[in-house]
Structure 1
């Protein structure tokens, strides 16, 4: 566990999944009228038995870096 000022350089698959879940949960909680699709996605993260296999497939896709399809390109400052 880490305090709020220090973040690890790497996460386990489980920790990364939790982070994605909590980010979605936080966004839905902050919005007065969250997008219905995001609410359905949040429900899927909580209940669909295929979610873990889907998560692993998504991680494998993310590890095959392709600058043309990277969702972070243009959205984050890179050194």
Structure 2
């Protein structure tokens, strides 16, 4: 489980990963890529994808992986901005 500061750092670090998924990956490749991440990182990437794609097919493809961690476990000040 990340601290709030670690979440903030990882949000910035994982933005390019989400962008790569959007630009270059099929939903199946996205699911495989995210399934190899730790649950916290998978959740962050899922949040980025949701924001970037308005919850299109990529997000649905990885949704089974992202729910590994409950939203209630994320710090209250979790913000993608």
TM-score higher than 0.5: no
Higher relative contact order (CA 8 A, sep 6+): 2
- TM-score norm. by structure 2 comes to 0.31
- When Rg is computed on C-alpha atoms for both structures, the one with the higher figure is 1
